[in-house]
């Protein structure tokens, strides 16, 4: 069963398309990294999947075919926004009671037990907590709804490295224990590579690649060879991007089985390098000791 499916999904704001022609399928139980530069359409896609906005074209479904935003979908989808919006004047315990009254599915005991494990007292006011603690409270509110799909929009942006690690550890524990599917939008590629098994990559409002991380890495390779031959390589192989130094060039190729031409060799390809290759402007990037410019 697919936890997420979209077909020709698009959203336009006046004359500008924030997302267009997005077709993908994500299996249940996946932990998905959603990546792209600012303005790539990540938040728009998440808002469409959670039903916060409606599409201009196409359709989206979640939880095995429920229309995004429908009553059945809302009961099984939990969303944590970047700002982790909480009532700053309330205590943590008051926050739990308020949110519990607003949801048909709510596990008060689980929420209180989780906060106790984290050492967050129920009588502490939200505004007195650190950014990491507030993020954990927001995540606790989402998990207490017992969702099947957890959607996280840049939850790590304001957290220090230790708080990021603790937050992601909680997410992965919940995913493993409850069979939870997760979509995580973030710019912190190192954190995503550590925990995610699927990738959705957007650029300029369009889907570039989507699929299982192991399959995507197997379907790409990075070749190293003479910079003088870098431009001509595109006539032989499906080149995504070339980064050139003084003598050598590293070329990301969207074919994992193609044999390297004479004078070129395969290098280890990381998820981060593959993602950056798609996010950079197409063409040749010339790297000096101080900067990288597009030729």
Query: Which residue ranges make up each domain of the chain?
Result: 2-215, 220-294
Query: Mean pLDDT throughout 73-102?
Result: 90
Strand partners, 181: 149
* Element containing residue 232 per DSSP (H, E): helix 230-233
| pLDDT range class, residue 156, cuts 50, 70, 90 | confident
Q: Average model confidence (pLDDT) for the chain? A: 88
Q: 3-state DSSP helix/strand/coil percent for the chain, to nearest 5?
A: 35, 30, 35
| pLDDT range class, residue 159, cuts 50, 70, 90 | confident
Q: Spell out the residues 6+ positions from residue 278 whose beta carbon is closer than 8 angstroms to its own.
A: 201, 203, 208, 209, 240, 241, 252
Higher pLDDT: 45 or 75? It is 45
Query: Mean pLDDT throughout 266-274?
Result: 90
Asked if the model's pLDDT at residue 283 lies above 60, the reply is no
3-state secondary structure of 140: helix
Counting residues of the chain whose pLDDT is more than 90, the rounded percentage is: 57
Q: What is the pLDDT of residue 293?
A: 36
2-215: CATH topology is Rossmann fold (3.40.50)
Q: What is the pLDDT of residue 222?
A: 93
Please identify which residue in the block is written with the tokens 């969207």.
254
Q: Where are the beta strands (DSSP E) in 136-264?
A: 149-153, 181-185, 198-203, 206-212, 221-226, 239-244, 248-253
Asked if the model's pLDDT at residue 43 lies above 70, the reply is yes
Query: pLDDT digit string (tens) for 210-260?
Result: 999 999 999 999 999 988 888 788 788 889 998 887 788 899 999 888 888
Q: What is the pLDDT of residue 52?
A: 94
Q: What is the pLDDT of residue 262?
A: 86
CA atoms within 13 A on the CB side of 222: 20
Starting at the edge strand that comes first in sequence, how are the strands of the sheet with 66-67 ordered? 16-27, 2-13, 57-62, 66-67
Query: Mean pLDDT throughout 188-213?
Result: 90
Q: CA 21 → CA 55, 67, 192, 213, 250, distances in Å?
A: 11, 18, 25, 22, 31
**Among the listed residues 54, 58, 49, the one whose alpha carbon sits nearest the alpha carbon of residue 147:** 49
Return d(Cα 31, Cα 197) in angstroms, integer: 6
pTM value? 0.87
Return d(Cα 213, Cα 150) in angstroms, integer: 19
Asked if the model's pLDDT at residue 150 lies above 60, the reply is yes
Q: What is the pLDDT of residue 295?
A: 36
Q: What is the pLDDT of residue 202?
A: 95
**Environment class of 32 (CB within 10 Å of its CB; exposed 0-12, middle 13-18, buried 19+):** buried
Q: What is the pLDDT of residue 124?
A: 95
Q: What is the pLDDT of residue 199?
A: 96
- Whether the CB-CB separation of 194 and 168 falls below 8 Å is answered with yes
| pLDDT range class, residue 290, cuts 50, 70, 90 | very low
């Amino acid at each position: 069963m697919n936890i997420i499916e979209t077909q020709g999904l698009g959203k336009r704001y006046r004359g500008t398309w924030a997302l267009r022609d997005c077709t993908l399928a994500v299996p249940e139980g996946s932990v998905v990294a959603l990546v792209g530069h600012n303005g790539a359409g990540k938040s728009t896609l998440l808002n469409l999947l959670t039903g916060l906005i409606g599409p201009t074209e196409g359709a989206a479904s979640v939880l095995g075919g429920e229309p995004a935003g429908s009553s059945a979908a809302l009961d099984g989808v939990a969303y944590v926004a970047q700002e982790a919006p909480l009532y700053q004047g309330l205590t943590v315990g008051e926050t739990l009671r308020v949110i519990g009254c607003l949801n048909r599915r709510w596990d008060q005991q689980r929420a209180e037990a989780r906060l106790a494990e984290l050492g967050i007292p129920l009588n502490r006011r939200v505004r007195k907590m650190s950014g990491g603690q507030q993020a954990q409270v927001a995540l606790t509110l989402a998990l207490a709804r017992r969702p099947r799909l957890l959607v996280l929009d840049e939850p790590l942006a304001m957290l220090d490295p230790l708080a990021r690690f603790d937050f992601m550890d909680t997410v992965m524990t919940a995913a493993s224990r409850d069979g939870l599917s997760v979509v995580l939008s973030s710019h912190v590629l190192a954190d995503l590579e550590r925990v995610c098994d699927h990738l959705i990559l957007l650029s300029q409002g369009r889907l570039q690649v989507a699929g299982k991380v192991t399959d995507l890495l197997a379907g790409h390779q990075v070749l190293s060879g003479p910079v003088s031959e870098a431009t001509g390589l595109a006539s032989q192989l499906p080149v995504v991007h070339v980064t050139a130094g003084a003598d050598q060039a590293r070329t990301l190729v969207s074919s994992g089985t193609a044999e390297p031409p004479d004078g070129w060799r395969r290098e280890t390809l990381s998820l981060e390098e593959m993602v950056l290759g798609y996010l950079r402007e197409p063409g040749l990037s010339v790297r000096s000791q101080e900067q990288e410019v597009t030729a």
